Every structure is written in structure tokens, then in C-alpha cells.
Amino acid sequence: MAPQIVLAREAEPADESDILREQFEYLMEHAARNAQCGCSECRRYLRVRAALLEIFAEPPGSSVQGMGPRLVRAA
């Protein structure tokens, strides 16, 4: 009887959103467990958190205040 040949299948790539979610969950758990000890994982958590919350930040006041004179000149 001839040996059977099993063809190796290529693994399908993981969904990027799943990977990102898993990584952020890991970082959140690490930061919560270690009360942000200051290690590289905690610093990474703070960088990722800042990037994700950036959209909610207030716009800089100087750009809003400087807009008035430019609008007057445009009119």
C-alpha cells in the first residue's frame, strides 16, 4: 500500500481588526493589572490610547481664534 500524501494548506491571514483588538485588550489588561508601572508595555498602551482618543481632543484655541481675521479678509 502506497503512503498517502497530505498536502499542506496555507493558513488564512487573520483579520487585522481582530489582531488590533486583541493587542489593545492585552495592553489594557496589562496596564490595569500593573497600575501602569512604566514599562514598555504601559508606555505602548498610553501611546495607543492617545492615538485612539485624539479625535475627541479639543481643537487648539489659537487656530479657532485666528480664523476670524482670515474670514473677514476673504469676504
What would the pLDDT profile of 5-41 be if each residue is shown by its tens digit? 877 788 888 889 999 999 999 988 988 887 778 888 8
Q: List the one residue out of 71, 24, 70 whose CA is nearest residue 49.
A: 24
Asked, for residue 61, whether it belongs to a domain, the answer is no
Alpha-carbon distance 1 to 23, whole Å? 49
Is 62 a domain residue?
no
pLDDT (mean) for 36-53: 86
Would you say residue 75 lies in a domain?
A: no
Q: What's the structural domain count of the chain?
A: 1
- 8 within a domain of the structure (yes/no): no
The C-alpha cell at 21 is 483588538
Position 32 scores a pLDDT of: 87
Within-domain flag for 65:
no
d(CA 48, CA 54): 10
